[in-house]
Amino acid sequence: MNPLTPLLPELEAGLVALGLPAQPLGARLLDYLALLDRWNRTYNLTAVRDPREMLGKHLLDSLSMWPHVHAGKLADLGTGPGLPGIPLAMAIPGLQVTLVESISKKTRFLREVVRQLGLDNVRVLDSRAEAVDEPGAYDQVTARAMDTLAGILAVGGHLLAPGGRLLAMKGQRPDAEIAALPAGWRVESIQDLAVPGLEGDRHLVTVTRDPPQAA
């Protein structure tokens, strides 16, 4: 039995508030959270220690962006313990997720999650984002707490296919980062995100390449 089962009603309520099905998604997410909690005690994978706190700050926060994620191939850069990639892979049919992480204890954990939970739409790359030699292979790239917008594009922009999108999760609206976007990139949209049970600003900034200039 999952030791975190008492948290299931709270998690299910949060999923419903986000427009997601309570089951079977809730139980699968709780299995992931139980693994994260167990490994975190030894390997310090995340600074959030309390599983109840992880519900909002990790699971529901990651899933708050789900309506803006399309089926296809997504690279989650600097994923850490699999956030937001693993919750998104569980929630969105047709999404193929590559988790990119360079810290070996975290990639060991990620591979164990994939194995134990049978996540056949998730692969793990033990690599820095800039070293991933898969140019243009992804429809979407995401990063939850990695860098500025320009910094993410510098290390991961090469992974995006033509017409691909960077989905960057931010706290307050990052106007200074938007102003500093490198040439050839533009903001497609800025979405306010509401995370059940959490206070504070959350935004999803979608960045894409400028359309090619007509000859």
Fold annotation for 5-209: Rossmann fold (3.40.50)
- pLDDT of 137 higher than 60: yes
Kindly report, residue by residue over 158-181, the tens digit of the pLDDT. Answer: 999 999 999 999 999 999 999 999
Of residues 166, 173, 154, the one with CA closest to residue 206: 166
pLDDT band for position 147 (cuts 50, 70, 90): confident
Q: How far apart are CA 184 and CA 83, in angstroms?
A: 28
Angle, vertex CA 119, rays to CA 191 and CA 104, nearest 5: 85
Task: Tell me the pLDDT band of 193, cut-offs 50, 70 and 90.
Answer: very high
One-letter identity of residue 90: M
